[in-house]
Structure formats: C-alpha cells, structure tokens
Amino acid sequence: MELLRPAAARRLGLRWRSAASLPGRSWICPSCRGQSRAAVVAPRRFTSTTTTPPSTKPYYVTTPIFYVNASPHIGHMYSMVLADVLKRWKTLAGERALLCTGTDEHGMKVQRAAALDDMPPKQFCDANAAKFEDLAQKSLIDNDFFIRTTDQDHVDAVKHFWFLLREKGYIYESKHEGWYCVSDECFYPESALEKKIDPFTGRVHWASIESGNAVEWTEEKNYHFRMTALKDRLLEFYEKNPEWVVPAARMNQVVDWVKNNLEDLSISRPVERLSWGIPVPDDPSQTVYVWVDALINYITKAGFPTWTPGREHEGGWPADVHVIGKDILRFHCVYWPALLLALDLPLPKRVLSHSHWTLDRKKMSKSIGNVVNPFFAIDRWGVDTMRFYLIHDGGIADDADYSNAAIVERYKKLLQWGLGNLTGRITRPKAWSVREAVARMSDENGITRLKGQGIMNDVLEAHGEMLQKLPSAVAGHMERLHPSAALRAIMVAADETNKFLTRAEPWIWAKNDDEASKAFVTETVYLASESLRAVGILLQPFIPDKATELLDRLGVAKDKRTLEHARPFSDTDYGTPLHNPGKGSNDGLFPPQPVED
C-alpha cells in the first residue's frame, strides 16, 4: 500500500518510499496428510497457503488463555492489549482480522483452587471466567472469540486431536515418575530444580529454577507423546524460520532446549489425582494433560476439526501471531509445534513472547500481595491511559516495573502536555481556520500544492520530510511486532509537531496583512494539521477512544480514518469539528488528573 502520493512527495522535494520496502518474512506451511478411520469427524487435508487466495484467510491473533484459579492482574491486561493492538492495526490497514482470548479452566491448579473455595469446579470457573470477560470489555479489547476450555466445541476438538495422535502412533502408555509442579502444570528434570527456603515458614523445598514454584515427587502410570520423534523436524523448522519467536533471544532459548532437553511428554494424569479435565478418549481412568487441552484452543476457534476441504484457512489458521508471556515459552514454542507437526498441521507464523510486569523490581505474586488489580487501575487512570502506559512502557525483551508515578508522568508529559496540548494549539485558535487552510492547500483535484514563500522554507521542508516518513516507519515497527516502538514513533511525531509550531510561531505571522505572511500561516497550520491527523489515525489501535475524540475535534470524516488515509495529503475535506474543541484545560483532550498519592 502506498503511504504517500508520489506527485505530492515530489512537490515537497521529498524522497519516495512505498510500503513494499518494509521488511518481509517467510514461512513454510506443512500440509495435513492424516486420514481418520474412526466414527468421528474426519480430519481435513489442510491446503498450503501458497495455493489459497490470501483474501480467504483473515489475520488471526491470539492471547494466551488465562488460568481461572485467581483473579485477573495487570499482566493479563497487558497480554490482551498487545494482541488487541495487533488486531486493530490490521483492521486499520483494511484487512479482515480476528482476535481470540479466553480462559484455561481445567487442571490441578483449578481443581485445588475450587476445593479451597468449597465450590464445584464448574461453578468456580463460571465465576472467574466472567471476570476475564469483564476485563476484556473494560480494556476495550476487540475480541471476536472468548473461548473457555469447558466449552463443548473445544472438548470435542481435544478428543479428536487426541484420536489423531493415537492413530498416527504418537501416543503410548508408560509409567512416569518425576518432579511435578502444580503451579506450572508440568514435570521438571532434576537439572532444572534448586533448593529454596520459604521466607514465611522456613521450610526447605525443591523448586523450579525457571519459575521459582515448588515441585513434588510423583509416580504414576499415564500416556506419553513421542515428542522426541519430532526433534529433527522441530530443529529444521527453527532453522528455516529464525525470526519465528520475538524477541530473538527467546528463539535461542527454544532451540537450545530442544537440542539439549527434549523428552517425550507425559500427556495424561490419573483420574484419582486429577478429575477436573477432559477424559482421555476410550480410557476414563485418565484425564488429558491440561497443556495439551489448552493449546488446542487456538485451532478450536479456527474451526478444527470441521474445516471444509480447500477452505481450511477461512477460520484464520495458521495463526499470524500468538501473544504469550515469557513464562509459557516452552509450551507454545516446543510442545505446541511438536503436536501440530505430528498431525502435519501448519504451525503459527509468529510468536510474540513478552516479559513480565514487576512492582518495586519484584515479581508480582498473589502470595506476597503485590499484584496490581487492572480494574482499579482503569477506574483510577482511565482505559486509554492504561492502554497507552502498558504499550509504551511494557517490556518485550526485559521486564517492566509498574509505577503509579510513571503513569502520572507519561500522562502529563506525553498525553496532557504533549498530544492534548498539540490538539488544542491547532484546533482552538481564532487566528486561523483549519478548514480554510486545508481548502486553500488543495486544488480542484484535491492535489496539495506547497508553494513556499521564502519564510522558513527549511522548517516547512524538514517537517514535511518527517511527516512523509511517519506512516511507513510505524508500519515497519508493527510488522516486526514492536508495538511499543511504533507508539513511541507516533508520540515523537506529535512532539516534533509541537516544536514545529513553536519555531514557526504562526500566531505571530497571522498579525501581518501581507500575502507572504498569510500564505506562510496557511502552510504552517496545514502541515501541523496534517501531522495531527496522521497521528490521530495511527493512534487508533493504541488508544481507540481518545484517538476517535481527537479525529472528531479535527473534523476528520468517519470513513477517512484508515491507514491509507494516514499518508500525507490524502484528505482534503477535514477541518470542520465534529466535537467541540473546547476552551479551558478541563475540557481538553486530556484534562488534568489527580496527582499521585
């Protein structure tokens, strides 16, 4: 998609850059060759994306599904907002996009939590799943699906997936013993453990080095998945797709783990130890391992296993991006691709593995009471402010430290005094009219003509250069799955536009009656308005409500707010406010907020 008309760029003397120059990525799609002979839904042959028209496959992004053993915290909101920004960005670009989020409701953690609350597991799950649905709504998440692993379509998908694994010879029964972590719902080798002392009781226990959670010795008979049989195929896939995991350092962790630690995976638990889950088909004495159950959610909502032959992609699979926390990297980047490879199903195209939020540089933990409640945060600061803060300061490669003081600082400096002030400076003055500036800068064919009057031509040209580069720069960051960098680039543009106005001082030149001064004011106001319009359009995935209000104040028509319209000089009709720009600070785009306690 072209982000700037070549003719307009030439008039400004600017370098032309098309979206085609943005970094690309490659992906190899295996196809499904398995055929079921059982009296269940027959598996479908999955057609390669190379032979399917791209328009039939929507962009598909997922969040992890969240355990319902505890209430939502700020990390859950961060995962949701990251995925939502990616989905909204594609929608902004004119593509059909789908977002799936939901809750993981089976497993030992949930079973124990329900018992502690003296509630039946399903009732316990119903109550807590509602909290996550509420969080999605209050966080302005534009999700198309909210999956619960207790949903019948998901239960059917898991049973069918199990059957196919067994039919292909990837499941066998064996005795298993080892160190099991209930919190992490997985076994750990002894090399991955360390002795720890409970700070409250002084009790010495073994714990996972990776998560810090306690483990317990377990011996049981269960089913195993021949994951080691797929080692070479996994390593081959990683080698051909070196940018599959973002950030790159975690891709290296995945490869190292497969090379040095891969074992067959225990994929069931005895029902006497775990009854809350999906029964193993044809063996009610065993319950499907929660991580096998949970991972399949991503294809459940993409239509598995009832894909129509030749149209399997229409439900969204393969996912374009799985958004996950770094603590579940191995499950999504080793177990999940191995399970898919076993059935010759396409693997997800990318995995965005983000870091955690800390509080006072300490990992958030319900046990020590330093978990941030996202509902309280939204009520206090506003949903757009929280979305902005989480994306702007949130960590991908490194953990981010949550701070109310930092929220106040970002709000005042970047939103109130930055973007809000810029909106007011452009839309409120009586010395000029945005609508008149836009009309005067366009001819009858809607083509922009920046003539230059010899007044600060270097300033006008420099700002025009920045404006021309902005959309493709933001698109590049989003394509590389760096929403924080994209947001920061947009805010830099807003800041540069404020500096541009300060340097040009159109309010001073507006006092002169000569034609050169009037023309200079017109061109200055127009470039500033174009910058604000582009910023407002590009901010829609990040702060949807406030971006809408900004564009309303600027008078941008509802049907001219797509990514195509973010390119300079693409709209000649805006400037008549759809929202009263107001007068004082209290009715500004970002009014003053209470100071931090």
Query: Is the pLDDT reported for residue 40 higher than 50?
Result: no
529-572 pLDDT tens trace: 999 999 999 999 999 999 999 999 999 999 999 999 999 989 99
Whether pLDDT at 390 is above 60 = yes
Higher pLDDT, 57 or 208: 57
CA distance 208 to 185: 12
pLDDT digits (tens, 9 = 90+) for 441-456: 886 444 454 555 567 7
Triad 316, 139, 586: Cα angle to 5°: 140
Q: Residue 502: is its pLDDT beyond 90?
A: yes
Give the mean pLDDT of the chain.
87
Q: What pLDDT band is residue 133 in, cutting at 50, 70 and 90?
A: very high
Residue type for position 243 = E
Radius of gyration from C-alpha coordinates of the chain: 27
Q: Which whole number is the average pLDDT over 31-58?
A: 45
Neighbours of 309 (CB within 10 A): 10
Between 518 and 148, residue with greater pLDDT:
148
- Residue 137 class from Cβ within 10 Å (0-12 exposed, 13-18 middle, 19+ buried)? exposed
pLDDT at 173: 94
Q: Give the pLDDT of residue 155.
A: 98
What are the extents of the domains in the chain?
404-587
275 Cβ contact partners less than 8 Å away, ≥ 6 residues apart: 111, 287
Contact 325, 75 (CB under 8 A): yes
Query: Which of 75-89, 208-222, 317-331, 444-458 is the least confident region?
Result: 444-458
Fold designation for 404-587 = Isoleucyl-tRNA Synthetase; Domain 1 (1.10.730)
The pTM (predicted TM-score) of the whole model is 0.85
Q: Given its phi and psi angles, is residue 437 left (phi above 0), alpha (psi -120 to 50 degrees) or beta? A: alpha
- For the cut 50, the answer to whether the pLDDT of residue 47 exceeds it is no
Determine the average pLDDT of the residues in 162-177.
92
Flag whether pLDDT at 182 surpasses 80: no
d(CA 459, CA 102): 50
Q: When comparing pLDDT for 451 and 249, which is higher?
A: 249
